[in-house]
Amino acid sequence: MHLDKVIAQKMVDRMMQNLGYNINMMDAHGVIIASGQPGRVGKVHMGARQVLDTRAAVTVFEPRNEEGHSSQPGINMPLYYQGEIVGVVGITGDPAQLGSIAPMIQLTAELLLEQESISNRRSMEKSAQSCAVSQLLTLKTQQDAEMVLQWARRAGYDLRRPRAVCLLKADEVGRLASDMRHAGILNDQDIVQELVDDTVVILKSVEDSLCWHEAIRMNFEPFVCEKNAVLAVGDRCCDFATLKYSYRQAQYLLQSHTQKGVFMLRDEMVAYLVHTCQARTLPESLEKECQILQGIPDMSQTVQALCECNMNLAQTAKQLFVHRNTVVFRLQKVREPLGLAPFEREADRIHFHVLAAVLKEQEQKGETS
């Protein structure tokens, strides 16, 4: 392990609080890299050199100052990390008064070094995960795929398992990951990463079953309600290389909903398929039908509300704050020009949902343009 100068100085500053003695830290070559006396930094400490040679504590009784070399009275001790000497820690002062203090300084320095190492390792692990998740969500090359696989093996994740990308957005995301684990809705194969836009991405490990989405809804819905959050769930992917598509689907759902709740691609497949179609690929007749609906007052809003309420007239009327008969009257207005009877023919009902999705998509584009 290489002693970092910044970390060494931070350790020295912490140990010197309320101590009343100067402390030095020397690297594996005996050079002072941190000290309560900044003027000594960069000089070779002869006592430290002896410690490194003998692998034992060395007491200096007389000051020695030569060009490029420095030693003051005090006690210098080897600094161990995982059984290896990585440097030297010394305390300056009358050796007769330091006999009981010096071992405590050595132990404290080694404990602080261990803490810094653990903190640094965790920071590196977080950075590696952040990079790997970013690559997973935008996978482009075979080299990226190989790097992600290597990271997953080291981290203990099995990328052969089916996964779905979930995007969780809440007012406060700082503790969401730990709260989810505490609530028992995450398992040890779920990869969780906070994104830059106050959103948490979950690469959720799911069962290889057609009912996987119901398990997610059942597990997450109480948590999402409690946190007043939005959870957008893309499609399940059996190949990690296709998780980027699940991510795009979850992004679409997150952008489409401002109200709180759990939203799944499975429930909005028609709207998503319309969204992914280029405008030039939409049938001309569909465009014409949308123009007719947009030309009738309140019709676009009524069609969308009816589909959102699963063709339930009473719920649609409640959502629109109108009487049920008003909804029926509006539907009669479109029957003749469009020839659609969504309550009588299944094909017309599907067509109605497609129209609602196109109208919603056009409105969203109009708001952002």
Q: What residue ranges do the domains of the chain occupy? A: 5-119, 161-275, 279-368
Judged by average pLDDT, the poorest of 188-192, 208-212, 303-307 is: 208-212
Residue 13 and residue 37 in contact, taking contact as beta carbons nearer than 8 Å: no
The single-letter DSSP state of residue 38 is G
Local confidence band at 66 (pLDDT 50, 70, 90 cut-offs): low
In CATH, the number for domain 5-119 is 3.30.450.40
pTM value is 0.66
How high is the pLDDT of residue 181?
86
Residue 330 has pLDDT above 60, yes or no: yes
Report the SS3 class of residue 366.
Answer: helix
Residue 201 and residue 192 in contact, taking contact as beta carbons nearer than 8 Å: yes
Cα-to-chain-centroid distance, residue 106: 38
Local confidence band at 176 (pLDDT 50, 70, 90 cut-offs): confident
Residue 106 has pLDDT above 90, yes or no: yes
| Region 120-142 average pLDDT | 90
Sign of CA dihedral 301, 306, 308, 312: positive
323-328 long-range contacts (CB < 8 A, ≥24 apart) are 327/302
CA distances from 63 to 28, 42, 78, 80, 333 (A): 22, 17, 20, 26, 102
Domain 161-275 has CATH 3.30.70: yes
Reported as a single tens digit per residue, the pLDDT across 254-286 is: 988 878 999 998 888 888 888 777 555 667 778
Residue 331 has pLDDT above 80, yes or no: yes
| Region 124-153 average pLDDT | 91
CA distances from 313 to 38, 144, 318 (A): 80, 51, 9
How high is the pLDDT of residue 68?
57
Query: H helices within the chain, ranges in order?
Result: 5-16, 46-54, 95-98, 102-137, 142-155, 176-183, 212-226, 243-256, 269-276, 284-294, 299-308, 313-320, 324-338, 346-368
CA distances from 55 to 8, 69, 105, 259 (A): 20, 20, 17, 66
Spatial strand order of the sheet with 163-169 comes to 191-194, 199-205, 163-169, 230-237, 261-264
**214: alpha, beta or left? (left if phi > 0; alpha if psi -120 to 50):** alpha
The single-letter DSSP state of residue 234 is E
For residues 170 and 194, what is the distance between their CA atoms, to the nearest angstrom?
Answer: 12
**For residue 166, what are the β-bridge partners?**
202, 233
CA count, 13 A, side-chain hemisphere, 307 = 24
Reported as a single tens digit per residue, the pLDDT across 47-64 is: 999 999 999 999 988 887
Reported as a single tens digit per residue, the pLDDT across 217-240 is: 999 999 999 888 999 999 999 899
Rg (CA), the chain: 33
Mean pLDDT of the chain: 88
Q: Hey, what are 214's tokens?
A: 């119901």
Residue 369 has pLDDT above 60, yes or no: no
How high is the pLDDT of residue 277?
75
Residue 311 and residue 343 in contact, taking contact as beta carbons nearer than 8 Å: yes
Local confidence band at 20 (pLDDT 50, 70, 90 cut-offs): confident
**For residue 74, what are the β-bridge partners?**
60, 92
For residues 157 and 151, what is the distance between their CA atoms, to the nearest angstrom?
Answer: 9
Residue 331 and residue 281 in contact, taking contact as beta carbons nearer than 8 Å: no
Residue 173 has pLDDT above 80, yes or no: no
Residue 138 and residue 164 in contact, taking contact as beta carbons nearer than 8 Å: no
Which among 275, 194, 264, 271 is positioned nearest to 236, based on CA atoms? 264
User: Residue 304 burial (CB < 10 Å; 0-12/13-18/19+)?
Assistant: buried
Domain 279-368 has CATH 3.30.70.1450: no
For residues 313 and 324, what is the distance between their CA atoms, to the nearest angstrom?
Answer: 6
